[in-house]
Structure 1
Amino acid sequence: MGKLMRQDKAIELFEVARAYCEDKYPDLIEWASSIDSQTFRNLRFKRFLSEYCWVVYTSGFSADVLDGRFESLARAFKNFDPDRLYRMRSIKPVLRVFNNERKARNFLSGAKMVYEEGFSNFKKRLKEEGVDILEHLPGIGKITKYHLAKNIGLLDSAKPDVWLERAARNCDTTVNELVGFLSERYNLSRHVVDIIIWRFSADKGLKIINN
């Protein structure tokens, strides 16, 4: 960017955001703090399918809206049971929960792709070849691959979505530099820093800082 990061602005933003999230979303912070490399080592197919589905559906939609429907969505997708999901043909039950055919078909197609490869083989390939493998899954792109990767503990990274980009611009820096600086300063994972800034910004918290 040709500028030095406004560390004072970054610290101000994060401290307000952290206090806000600890008050409003303590469970979210606890969940984010629990994700690490051990999460990926222990990852099973059903958990992966749940996280994959969440990322596909939350892309471009409100996470709050999805959160209220996710339990019903999981039931429509056979509670992410790999065998039952692989045999699933009709998406009508899914569309009654969330009427988006493209997302439903993307997730179901991707779930079947991984099933056919074998989850242990897929997971091994993901570990060896890295996050870009996730882009081969329907519904996962250049930004959402980081969302899925950090949620399953594959890597400790920020997701450079619109909210993180906006926060970074506010501090005259990039997403990676902002999150890296705050992660080191507060001894928190990048994933936790990402979640705090994202949640605060998505609730229009940046307006508080800018006013």
Structure 2
Amino acid sequence: MNELTEGFNQHSVNEAFKETIKCLYLKIKNDIIEKGHLKEIEWYDNIPNLKDLDKIFFFREYVWVVINSGMKNQVAEKIFKSFWNDKNSFNFDAIGHPNKNKAIKKVYNRLDFYFDHFLQSKNKLMFLKSLPHIGEITKYHLAKNLGLSFAKPDRHLVRIANLLRYNNVQDFCMVVSELSHDKIGVVDLVFWRFANITQNYLEVIKHEAGVSELIKNRNLKEVG
């Protein structure tokens, strides 16, 4: 059992439920593409392999996750754009939160050290959690943005996974990834973006998936 599948819910899932989850995901993906979010999907699809990552990419995603933590996405984007002038010039004054500012400076000043240790670490999720100002939730956010096969257990994804009777976000996104052949990071993004642009998104998903009937059918399948 690896760090991704630890605690995996070993329930059987009947074929009807699988097909409905797949169709639901593809419909939601198409909806957010039509609303102008294709570039976000392409970004996650095109994250370099670990062997092709460079320290600037690593630092940029670390900075983004730290700035974004505990903050609305739109506000974080403004701060990040003000900070990230180009690869050789960073505006540390743009980061008003003292602990975040201190953490980012620390990683910047020892970037070679942190990047090398990330590449060499056997448990990359644990290593990411050891970085300044990275915690239990943000370690998944950073891992996802560095191309690792993890989803961030954002409150929206937790609610969607629970609605569909999955124990956790990792299990849910892994199953959808296997059904759709999309990366876990893309699956995470699709559901997260849908939740952020859709009022009553849980009710929409419940209606589209026919959740009550599918859960009933799956439970009968498991009992049988």
Among 104, 108, 129, which residue is 1:107 paired with? 104
What residue is the counterpart of 2:137 in the other structure? 143
Unpaired stretches in structure 2, ≥5 consecutive residues:
1-8, 208-224
Bigger shift: residues 169-178 or 22-31: 169-178
- 1:29 corresponds to 2:41: yes
One-letter code aligned to 1:203: I
Q: Which runs of 5+ in 1 are unaligned?
A: none
1:36-75 CA deviation, whole Å, 9 max, x = no partner? 5x2x211111111110000111112222332244221213
Matched residues in 1 for 2:79 and 2:191: separation? 24
Q: Name the count of aligned residue pairs.
A: 192
SS at match of 1:14: helix
Other structure's SS at 1:60 match: coil
Corresponding residue for residue 124 of structure 1:
119
Q: In the superposition, relative to structure 1, how do residues 186 and 2 fare at CA in structure 2: closer, same or farther (>3 Å)? A: closer
State the SS of the aligned residue for 1:142: coil
3-state SS of the aligned residue for 2:134? Answer: coil
Change (3 A) 1:105 1:8: same
Are residue 171 (structure 1) and residue 168 (structure 2) matched? no
Query: 1 or 2, which has the higher helix percentage?
Result: 1
Report if aligned partners of 1:131, 1:149 keep a CA contact under 8 Å in 2.
Answer: yes
**Does 2:84 match 1:74?**
yes
Alignment partners' CA distance in 2, 1:198 and 1:3: 25
Shift in alpha-carbon separation, 1:135–1:53, aligned structure 2, 3 A: same
* Structure number with bigger Rg: 2
Residue equivalent to 1:20: 31
Whether 1:208 and 2:220 are equivalent positions in the alignment is no
- The aligned runs of 1:177-192 (5 Å cut-off) are 177-192=171-186
Structure with higher RCO (Cα < 8 A, 6+ apart): 1
